[in-house]
Amino acid sequence: MNNQWLQKNTFHHSQFGDLARLVELKKRRGVTISLCLPTLNEEKTIAKEIVIMKSELMTRHPLIDEIVVVDSGSQDRTLEIAAQYGADVYTATDILPDLGDYKGKGENLWKALYITHGDIIVYLDADIKNVHHRFVYALVAPLLYYDHIKYCKAFYDRPIAEGDQKLRPTGGGRVTELVVRPLFSLFFPELTQLIQPLSGEYAGYREVFEQIPFPIGYGIETSMILDISEKWGLDVIAQVDLDRRIHRNQSTKALGKMAFVILQTFIKRIADRGRIELHTQLFNEMIQYALQGDDYYPEIYRFAGHERPPMIENPAYRERFNLPEPDGD
Amino acid sequence: MNTCSSVDLEKIPEYVEKIEAIREIIISNIVLLGQIPSPTFKEGHRAKAFLERLTDSHVDEVTADAYNNPIGIIRGTDPAKPPIFLVAHLDTFFDREMIYNFTVGPDTIEGPGLLDNSLGVAVLASMPEIFRALDLQFQSDIVLAGVVQSLGRGNLSGIRHLLKTWATPIRAAVSIEGVEIGRLNYYSDGMIRCEIECTVQGASKFAERNRPNAILILNELINQILSIGVPQRPRSRIVIGQVHAGVTHGRLAQQGIIGLEIHSDAMEMVKELFTQVRDIVSELNQEFDATLHLDIVSSLQAARLKFNHPLVKTAVAVMETLGLKPVSEASESELSIMLARGIPAVTLGITRGENKYRENARAQLAPMYKGIAQVVGVISAMDNGVCDE
């Protein structure tokens, strides 16, 4: 397989360490940049992320213009702490409340389009233990350096935190290797060049994000890659090696649910594009079994697979950003 | 210049708010530097990051000496004035095999090595931005030195080398420690730090039941050390601070080690007490079928400023202006080396904290800004000549 894209569009964060240069490029392009942190019970890590980004990329180097937290309904002190350290804090249900309320990361990211102001939006998971400002500036950099790049994803060496203080050197990316990569290999081999298609950190131009649908849950990363590469071509996508990212480990059961949602998202897209023909409707329940005493009990996880339409189709959004009405048929 | 006029005391409380206004930079440095593992002898990554932070703050000169102590120099306005040193040790007690994950909360920061001395290092790295926020310029060069190999077997090698090889006289110095705010160290005891290792030769399984137990031999050693008559004058003490021995519950220990320090404000007494410890070790060596080996890890001369030294009086005034109650006791640290070389110096603590030597060491944020303001006040006094007489 031709891996030209991998050679051409893959970077390492160390290539972009000159922050003064990035600020200059940003000014030259006349763009603004928003950092969005989707949260759900992240009181242990949220302050650290906000403080470092604010200090390094707002105070010292004016690269980002706002830090926005969009929360899915945290029960801990996430929102209070985020506000205390200077982020603009929103609960997802309070944004565009007339459009209903779904729970999920994709929902938060979609609604963030409405409340952020930047021309470029950086989405960063809020559970990164070893957070560093490279997680933001290195994702933004390719967008500022290269005219053709519109969307940039992170990839990592991914050790996993076991317990409080122990490191296991590998084990991240299980869903990628067991689900997404085989699917990409079967249907879109060129997309296998993305080292970690499910990484939760990416940056892109608003004009890209507003034109694609957002699945409300775990399917968001997969759908973004499929939709962006289909609409604009793979060349608008870049990936950046951010070295090490330490995050909390997830159980196989939790990863199973994630895989279920990703499969839903993927199958919907290949069916819509005529790549496969489904002769039956898919079920929307993931069934896992737990042993209690001597008996097995089913644990059922229902996921309807809701997707938000492209934000640009929303009249309130168009009004907020002074966008013209779409052409009628 | 007397102590009252060496620093404008009224200005010091105004610093606190201005320092708090750049709290993100200080906290960010605590996290970014503190999460880099930095055990003694392996401080390289943290030293590199420290230099990067100084470079990023546009410090005039950023370099490392031959011992890999990272150093930044903020040039003063009067080249004739000797430099003022601000020092914090880079090493921590924790090894590299763990996650250095810091948690920032609404009022606290938590993480391994935070209080000794990642927080101190971060404050040192933040000083260029703090001086900028306070619009302060100094006549003297301000030398910001992160020093390596300070703790335990490091034996303060970094600071020893730095001062030994520094070409010009040094006007004065402040050593920064994470905790506790209110400490004012201006004297160091004489000290010998040593380790005593007990090794029992291996034996066949049949003979094992008759073999001596290293733990019991060390227990006898400790009992005999405790029976040494330690005088109150000169003020002296023996601290047994470490014990490691044995492998598992049901096996006789073949090896064990204790670490201890002998302190006194008279070096002669330190030597006399050490001689007694050495004699006990020799005696036990003959008494048991085991080998006891005594190893001196570190030794420091007693050194001090007088309690009425202008620097001490000014530091007290600065602290009291901030509502802090100074507490003085001996400190065997970078301070010892600076005082022994005739450099007027004090050690100051930055904030309050708990669990200092545990993985969940926790520092309070609110007192930190006051702690930094006191450091700035003392440096200003030094720059105005409080130590120049």
Per the DSSP assignment, residues forming a β-bridge with A167 are A161
Cβ-defined contact of B25 to A246 (cutoff 8 Å): no
**What is the rounded average pLDDT of the residues B39-58?**
96
| Residue B283 and residue B318 share a domain | no
Distances (CA, A) of B15 to A53, A161, B8, B25, B135: 25, 40, 12, 16, 10
| Residue B375 and residue B333 share a domain | yes
Which amino acid is present at B15? Y
Cβ contacts of residue B180 below 8 Å, gap of 6+?
B327, B349, B351, B352, B353
Contact residues, chain A, for B97 at CB < 8 Å: 167
pLDDT of residue B289: 87
| Residue B108 and residue B178 share a domain | yes
pLDDT of residue A85: 96
| Residue B64 and residue B102 share a domain | yes
The residue in chain A having the minimum alpha-carbon distance to the alpha carbon of residue B36 is A130
Confidence bin at B4 (pLDDT 50/70/90): low
pLDDT of residue A292: 87
Cβ-defined contact of B101 to A165 (cutoff 8 Å): yes
Cβ-defined contact of B31 to A44 (cutoff 8 Å): no
Give, for B303, the enclosing helix (H) or strand (E).
strand B303-304
8 A C-beta contact, residue B182 and residue B327: yes
Counting one residue from A and one from B, how many pairs have CB atoms under 8 Å apart?
A: 62
Does the residue A280 lie in any domain? yes
CATH number of the structural domain spanning residue B31: 3.40.630.10
pLDDT of residue A173: 80
Contact residues, chain B, for A43 at CB < 8 Å: 105
- Contact of B126 with chain A, judged by CB distance below 8 Å, is answered with no
Minimal C-alpha gap between B129 and chain A (Å): 10
Does the residue B84 lie in any domain? yes
From the list B32, B103, B106, the residue facing A132 with the nearest CB is B32
CATH number of the structural domain spanning residue A143: 3.90.550.10
Cβ contacts of residue A182 below 8 Å, gap of 6+?
none
- CA dist A165 and A183 (Å) reads 35
The predicted-structure confidence for A111-142, as pLDDT tens digits, reads as follows 999 999 999 999 999 988 889 999 999 999 99
Does the residue A193 lie in any domain? yes
**What is the rounded average pLDDT of the residues B336-359?**
95
Could you list the residue range(s) of the whole structural domain that residue A58 is in? 4-320
Of A270-274, B14-18, B96-100, B371-375, the one with minimum mean pLDDT is: B96-100
Confidence bin at B152 (pLDDT 50/70/90): confident
Does the residue A326 lie in any domain? no
Which pairing describes strands A88-91 and A66-71: parallel, antiparallel, or unpaired? parallel
- Contact of A326 with chain B, judged by CB distance below 8 Å, is answered with no
Could you list the residue range(s) of the whole structural domain that residue B210 is in? 190-300
Domain end point (choices B300, B318, B336): B300
Distances (CA, A) of B26 to A35, B118, B120: 21, 12, 11
| Residue B178 and residue B42 share a domain | yes
Other C-beta atoms within 10 Å of B232: how many?
Answer: 7
- Contact of B98 with chain A, judged by CB distance below 8 Å, is answered with yes
**What is the rounded average pLDDT of the residues B303-307?**
94
Of B376 and A102, the structure prediction assigns the larger pLDDT to B376
Domain end point (choices B270, B300, B330): B300
CA angle A100, A101, A106 (to 5 degrees): 120
pLDDT above 90 as % of chain B: 89
CATH number of the structural domain spanning residue B240: 3.30.70.360
The pair phi, psi for residue B49, each rounded to 5°, is -65, -35
Alpha carbon B26 to its chain's center: 20
| Number of separate domains in chain A | 1
The predicted-structure confidence for A156-180, as pLDDT tens digits, reads as follows 875 555 555 554 444 348 899 999 9
pLDDT of residue B2: 42
Contact residues, chain B, for A168 at CB < 8 Å: none
| Residue B366 and residue B280 share a domain | no
What interface predicted TM-score (ipTM) does this complex get? 0.85
| Number of separate domains in chain B | 2
Confidence bin at B320 (pLDDT 50/70/90): very high
Distances (CA, A) of B13 to B16, B111, B377: 6, 29, 9
- CA dist A58 and A69 (Å) reads 16
Domain end point (choices B247, B274, B300): B300
Other C-beta atoms within 10 Å of A157: how many?
Answer: 12
Residues B239-270: b if buried by 16+ CB within 10 A, e if exposed: eeeeeebeeeeeebbbbbbbbbbbbbbbbebb
Does the residue A328 lie in any domain? no
**What is the rounded average pLDDT of the residues B145-154?**
94
- Contact of B101 with chain A, judged by CB distance below 8 Å, is answered with yes
| Residue B28 and residue B147 share a domain | yes
Does the residue B154 lie in any domain? yes
pLDDT of residue B5: 67
**What is the rounded average pLDDT of the residues B212-238?**
95
The predicted-structure confidence for A185-213, as pLDDT tens digits, reads as follows 999 999 999 999 999 999 999 999 999 99
Minimal C-alpha gap between B243 and chain A (Å): 24
pLDDT of residue A168: 47
Does the residue B1 lie in any domain? no
DSSP string, A129-185: TT--THHHHHHHHHHHH-TT--EEEEEEE--EEETTTEEES--TTHHIIIIIHHHHH
Does the residue B331 lie in any domain? yes
- CA dist A241 and A196 (Å) reads 10
Q: Is it the case that residue A246 has pLDDT exceeding 80?
A: no
Which amino acid is present at B234? P
Q: Is it the case that residue B211 has pLDDT exceeding 90?
A: no
**What is the rounded average pLDDT of the residues B363-368?**
98
Which amino acid is present at B201? Q
> Chain-wide mean pLDDT for chain B?
94
Q: What does the block give as tokens for A174? A: 């299980």
pLDDT of residue B255: 95
- Contact of A14 with chain B, judged by CB distance below 8 Å, is answered with no
Which amino acid is present at A312? I
What's the order of all strands across the beta sheet hosting A33-39?
A10-12, A237-244, A151-157, A202-205, A120-123, A33-39, A66-71, A88-91
Does the residue A58 lie in any domain? yes
**What is the rounded average pLDDT of the residues B315-331?**
96
